[in-house]
Amino acid sequence: MADIPRRDFVRSALVGGAALALPKMAPIVSLIGAGGRRRSTLADSHIEVRLDSPIGVIAPEIYGHFTEHLGGVIYDGVWVGEDSKIPNVGGIRKALVDALTLIKPSVIRWPGGCFADSYDWRDGVGPRDQRPTRTNFWADDPGLRRVSDGPAKFDPNAFGTNEFMRFCRLVGAQPYLAANVRSLDARAFDAWIEYCNAPPDATTWSRMRAAAGDREPYGVRYWGVGNEAWGCGGNFTPAEYAEEYRRFTAGGAPQFGVDLRYVASGPSGTDRAWTTQLFDALHERGAVESVWGLSVHHYSSAPDAGADAVTFDERGWYDLLSSASDMDTVIDTTWAILAGADPRHHVKLVIDEWGAWHKSQPIADPSHLFESQSTIRDAVVAALTLNIFNRHADKVAMANVAQMINCIQSVFLAHEDQFTVTPVYHVFAMYAGHQGGRSVQTDVSAPRHTWTRKDGREAGLPGLSASASVKNQTVTITVANCSMTEPRVAEIAVRGWGGMRWLRATTLAAGSVHDVNSFANPETVKPVTVALPVSGWPLVREFPPASVTQLEIGLI
């Protein structure tokens, strides 16, 4: 562990309006540890929350989810069927509804992903027993080669638009639909909008919606115009996709009084060429104004031994966290390109796929493509990614973790009647308080971790990741300790502060970084909340190694 020089830390806090000068040396301080006990120790890190430097309101949609007809996400994950012995609400897994509701899932993206550009929404409406079975986009994936025929390969369409909308209603989420641009035309897109948003009894589609039990329009606002148009979404060039985007959105699509928000297919990671050329082509077609959001995808991974979801080594820990922290560059790079193409910045970023993607190791059923277990490493990935989104609240309008259940950065795992939340779930619960809060600048200095990559290159990672927001007289500070082995002790100063009424800390840490929540032991990794005594300044807190902490401070 290398302790490189800290960058300047503004050592002042305003307590009741008075500046508190902190000593130059790391002080011996009275420490409030994870269990709420006080002892003296040496602070090695600093976090300054600047209430006087607002960034923007954190869109609740940043805490969104993604569900694709892929492996075990929809069938077995979300949908168990109305006749199932597994407790369900109209066919939707009840345990999922109950747990998901608690973390305020602002928005859910559906039905893909790559699947979206092969999906005909008309197959998924009407009486369920009359719906056709279709070959799933993922049927030929090598991961399903030895899997018997079933819904992962041949989609029975039991879960369609009405079922998805009911799921959203049950958990209090807004729907975000991804339209098929590769293999359907703009007319089918118009018809889907009509099915969802036309007034009751107005059209044949809206009567069909009503006949299926949903008389009132859904009022769907968010529409993805294709997915990964540069890849599985049609292998378009930027100019070809811009032409399709224009065809789907220009003038023709019915509005039904809903402020439709179109999301154009953006780059993978920092692909500058796609974004630059796409916006040039959209400009030529007068189509930039209609773009509400630009979809950006960034998955993190660790090569070699680090790719194993559970038995990773120390290098695998840091390689993955470093890959996740590249999200910062992805956002800055894409935003800088947009500055040229859209100087008013009316187009915001929609990071509608993000997560840690490990070697696929289905847990209880081989059809669960891209499934793997989650550890505290994945929780730290989620925490540092969500901190990045909070810190870019002025740029990121939506983000959707990929995926909600049984896939990639799973928030939940389920098979038949077995169900568990993963450590990632707890991060979403601990961060829910940020939704709708005002993100404020948060300066962090902490010992930096350096390591050697497999190819011999030196790499470094900031020791702590943090973000903060204010809402309803409460400051929420979330901190990830990115060190796998070292605790950090941080002085925490809040500038622009009027005084403290109460203080609470929730910490998520694991006995071992390889611990998981299994179906048999679903509570192995779970957070602990303690109310702390209201103290003087600076507030000092120990962050255990490999942990995520939420501090909530009630303002006077």
Residue 460 CB neighbour total at 10 angstroms: 13
Residue 114 CB, nearest approach to ligand AHR (Å): 4
Which one of 13, 58, 103, 114 is in contact with ligand AHR (CB under 6 A)? 114
> What is the spatial distance between Cα 273 and Cα 3, in angstroms, rounded to a whole number?
38
Structure tokens at 279: 């916006």
Q: Which residues contact 329 (CB under 8 A, 6 or more apart)?
A: 270
Choices 112-120, 204-212, 275-283, 377-385; region in contact with ligand AHR by CB under 6 A: 112-120
- The Cα 456–Cα 86 span in angstroms is 51
| Smallest separation, CB 231 to ligand AHR (Å) | 7
Q: Is 112 in the site for ligand AHR (CB under 6 A)?
A: yes
Binding window for ligand AHR (CB under 6 A); candidates: 110-118, 208-216, 333-341, 472-480: 110-118
Sheet with 474-481, edge to edge strand ranges: 38-42, 28-32, 539-543, 488-495, 45-57, 438-445, 464-471, 474-481, 547-555, 500-508, 528-532
Instruction: From 254, 373, 371, select the one nearest 311 (Cα to Cα).
Output: 373
Assess 68 for contact with ligand AHR (CB under 6 A): yes
Q: Which of residues 294-353 bind ligand AHR (CB under 6 A)?
A: 353
Is the Cβ–Cβ distance between 406 and 152 less than 8 Å?
no
The closest residue (CB) to ligand AHR is 113
H/E stretch holding 399 reads strand 396-402
Which tokens is 291 given?
């773009």
Q: Is 228 in the site for ligand AHR (CB under 6 A)?
A: yes
56: Cβ contacts below 8 Å, ≥ 6 apart: 393, 394, 438, 439
Q: Is 163 in the site for ligand AHR (CB under 6 A)?
A: no
Q: Compute the least distance from the CB of residue 112 to ligand AHR, in Å.
A: 5
Rounded Cα distance, 325 and 258, in Å: 36
**Closer Cβ to ligand AHR, 73 or 480, answer by number:** 73
Whichever of 144 and 212 has its CB closer to ligand AHR, that residue is 144
> What minimum distance in Å lies between the beta carbon of 138 and ligand AHR?
8
The window from 76-84, 109-117, 158-166, 497-505 that contacts ligand AHR (CB under 6 A) reads 109-117
Instruction: Write down the least CB distance from residue 215 to ligand AHR, Å.
Output: 33
Residues 407-466 touching ligand AHR, rule: CB under 6 A, are 408
Residue 540: CB minimum distance to ligand AHR, A: 41
- For the CB of residue 124, give the shortest distance to ligand AHR in the complex, in Å: 17
Q: Which stretch binds ligand AHR (CB under 6 A): 401-409, 412-420, 470-478, 545-553?
A: 401-409
Binding piece for ligand AHR, criterion CB under 6 A, among 28-36, 106-114, 141-149, 156-164 = 106-114
Radius of gyration for the alpha carbons in the chain, expressed in angstroms and rounded: 24
Q: Nearest to residue 397, comparing CAs of 268, 300, 230, 262?
A: 262
Residues marked as catalytic: 228, 353
Residue (368 or 434) nearer to ligand AHR, CB:
368
Q: Percentage helix, strand, coil, to 5, in the chain? A: 25, 30, 45
- Total interface residues for ligand AHR by CB under 6 A: 10
Q: Verify binding: residue 267, ligand AHR, rule CB under 6 A.
A: no
Q: How far apart are the first and last CA of the chain?
A: 40
Of residues 15, 177, 402, 404, which one binds ligand AHR by CB under 6 A? 402
- Our CB check for ligand AHR shows the closer of 398 and 402 to be 402
Sign of the CA dihedral with 405 first, then 407, 410, and 415 last: positive
Query: Is 486 near ligand AHR (CB under 6 A)?
Result: no
Closer to ligand AHR by CB, 22 or 114: give it.
Answer: 114
Which string of DSSP letters, residue by residue, matches 18-40?
EEEEPPSSPPEEEEE-TTS-EEE
Alpha-helix runs per DSSP H in 237-326: 238-249, 272-284, 314-325
Please give the sequence-ordered ranges of beta strands (E in DSSP) within 407-555, or none if there are none: 412-415, 418-421, 438-445, 449-452, 458-461, 464-471, 474-481, 488-495, 500-508, 528-532, 539-543, 547-555
Rule CB under 6 A: say whether 67 interacts with ligand AHR: no
Residue 178 C-beta: closest distance to ligand AHR, Å: 9
For position 113 contacting ligand AHR by CB under 6 A, the verdict is yes
Q: Which amino acid is at 488?
A: R
SS (H, E, C) 330-354: HHHHHHHHHHHHCCCCCCEEEEEEE
Q: How far is the CB of 385 from ligand AHR (least distance, A)?
A: 15
Of residues 352 through 391, those in contact with ligand AHR by CB under 6 A are 353
Q: What is the 3-state secondary structure (H, E, C) of 168-223?
A: HHHHCCEEEEEECCCCCCHHHHHHHHHHHHCCCCCCHHHHHHHHCCCCCCCCCCEE
Helix 376-391 with 327-341: angle, nearest 10 deg: 30
Nearer CB in complex with ligand AHR: 51/408? 408
- Residue 180 interacts with ligand AHR (CB under 6 A): yes or no: no
Q: How far is the CB of 12 from ligand AHR (least distance, A)?
A: 45
By CB under 6 A, the residues from 188 to 227 that bind ligand AHR are 227
Choices 26-34, 43-51, 107-115, 338-346; region in contact with ligand AHR by CB under 6 A: 107-115
Q: From the CB of residue 305, how many other CB atoms can be counted at a distance below 10 Å?
A: 14
Q: How far apart are CA 43 and CA 26, in angstroms?
A: 6
Please say which residue, 91 or 234, places its beta carbon nearer to ligand AHR: 234
Nearer to ligand AHR, 353 or 552 (CB): 353
User: Look-up: residue for tokens 């959707």?
Assistant: 400
Enumerate binding residues for ligand AHR (CB under 6 A): 68, 112-114, 227-228, 353, 402-403, 408
